[in-house]
């Protein structure tokens, strides 16, 4: 494709909350790189038809995937990476020159990359992760790859959490995965909110931090507002915090390399 006409997409619904197009477009401009990212609002019932159309857009290098498609898109793709299959979720898709769609998972790499850049110790630590959806799965995979000791997965649907934990146990036998309905306690070093609570001002807090130690790491995947009420509570407890936008920056060079060359 001609570099000056290169497109990167993002599909999701609704898309009013997404900030990644602005971040990526700024990165491309600052680094003198061609291309532009455009968000596409796709209703869930139209996902299959939208993918059929995107296969034929020859100047489309690929696209990011956000809510609610990270899991539902997987069986509609031609192929996917092992990381995406373990997570059961995709957040980036590469379009090959012949229109094939190949899925990958970079949510976890971005989230953990931001943690590592901030000097957070992951190896041997204990984490509490709220959520058992696509973002949670990706983050759990990346934490396990970084050598974390234990991950407790909390989710309203316990069966969904058990399914994810079983898949992760098979892939990462060195990490202990449990499912819990309890709030994190004093043994927890890392707390991650991987659900959408916090997007609305009247949302309840996604995790009760009252029994945790002061000064632990608390991360949120919600990126609007920048400082969610959950992170404000965490900072008041002296915790080291990571906002939702932080996980996208480390993904950009990985994504551009994936779009260009695949895995």
Query: Using CA atoms, how far apart are residues 223 and 114, in angstroms rounded to an integer?
Result: 14
> Any residues with CB less than 8 A from the CB of 121 and at least 6 apart, and which?
189
Query: Using CA atoms, how far apart are residues 114 and 30, in angstroms rounded to an integer?
Result: 20
Q: Does 159 lie in the same domain as 138?
A: yes
Query: Using CA atoms, how far apart are residues 136 and 179, in angstroms rounded to an integer?
Result: 13
Cα-based distances in Å from 133 to 97, 142, 165, 209: 31, 14, 11, 21
Domain boundary residue among 85, 105, 125? 105
Q: Does 129 lie in the same domain as 238?
A: yes
Quote the mean pLDDT of the chain: 93
Q: Does 130 lie in the same domain as 32?
A: no
User: How does pLDDT run across 25-67, given as a tens digit for each residue?
Assistant: 999 999 999 999 999 999 999 999 999 999 999 999 999 999 8
Compute how many other C-beta atoms are within 10 angstroms of the C-beta atom of residue 114.
20
209: pLDDT strictly greater than 90: yes
CATH of the domain at 225: 3.40.50.720
Q: Is the distance from CB of 49 to CB of 76 less than 8 angstroms? A: no
What tokens were used for 204?
Answer: 């309840």
Question: Does 233 map to a domain?
Answer: yes
Question: Does 249 map to a domain?
Answer: no
Q: How confident is the model at residue 20 (pLDDT cuts 50, 70, 90)?
A: confident
Question: Does 179 map to a domain?
Answer: yes
Question: Does 252 map to a domain?
Answer: no
What tokens were used for 215?
Answer: 């000064």
The whole domain housing 188 covers 108-244
Q: Does 41 lie in the same domain as 121?
A: no
Query: Using CA atoms, how far apart are residues 186 and 135, in angstroms rounded to an integer?
Result: 25
Residue 14: cis peptide before it, omega within 30 degrees of 0: yes
Q: Does 144 lie in the same domain as 47?
A: no
Q: Does 137 lie in the same domain as 91?
A: no
User: How does pLDDT run across 94-124, given as a tens digit for each residue?
Assistant: 999 999 999 999 999 999 999 999 999 999 9
263: pLDDT strictly greater than 60: yes
CATH of the domain at 11: 3.40.50.10860
Q: How many domains does the chain have?
A: 2
Question: Does 73 map to a domain?
Answer: yes
Q: Does 192 lie in the same domain as 138?
A: yes
Q: Does 116 lie in the same domain as 99?
A: no
Instruction: Name the more confident of 145 and 203.
Output: 145
Q: Does 204 lie in the same domain as 98?
A: no
Catalytic residues: 70
How high is the pLDDT of residue 18?
A: 81
Query: Using CA atoms, how far apart are residues 129 and 134, in angstroms rounded to an integer?
Result: 12
Q: Is the dihedral of CA 186, 208, 157, 92 positive or negative?
A: negative
Q: Which helix (H) or strand (E) holds 94?
A: strand 92-95
């Amino acid at each position: 494709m001609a570099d000056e006409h290169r497109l990167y997409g993002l599909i999701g619904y609704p898309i009013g909350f997404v900030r990644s197009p602005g971040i990526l477009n700024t990165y491309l401009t600052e680094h003198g790189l061609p291309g532009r990212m455009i968000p596409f609002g796709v209703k869930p019932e139209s996902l299959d038809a939208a993918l059929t159309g995107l296969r034929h857009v020859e100047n489309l290098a690929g696209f990011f995937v956000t809510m609610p498609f990270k899991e539902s898109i997987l069986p509609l793709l031609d192929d996917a990476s092992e990381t995406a299959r373990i997570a059961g979720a995709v957040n980036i898709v590469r379009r090959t020159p012949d229109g094939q769609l190949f899925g990958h998972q970079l949510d976890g790499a971005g989230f953990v990359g931001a943690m590592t850049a901030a000097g957070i110790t992951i190896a041997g630590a204990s984490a509490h992760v709220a959520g058992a959806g696509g973002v949670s799965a990706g983050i759990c995979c990346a934490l396990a790859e970084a050598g974390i000791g234990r991950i407790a997965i909390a989710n309203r649907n316990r069966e969904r959490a058990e399914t994810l934990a079983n898949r992760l146990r098979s892939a990462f036998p060195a990490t202990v995965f449990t499912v819990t309905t309890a709030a994190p306690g004093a043994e927890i070093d890392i707390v991650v909110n991987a659900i959408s609570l916090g997007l609305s001002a009247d949302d309840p807090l996604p995790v009760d931090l009252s029994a945790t130690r002061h000064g632990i790491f608390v991360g949120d995947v919600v990126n609007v507002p920048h400082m969610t009420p959950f992170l404000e509570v965490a900072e008041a407890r002296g915790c080291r915090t990571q906002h939702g936008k932080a996980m996208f920056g480390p993904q950009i060079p990985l994504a551009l390399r994936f779009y260009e060359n695949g895995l």
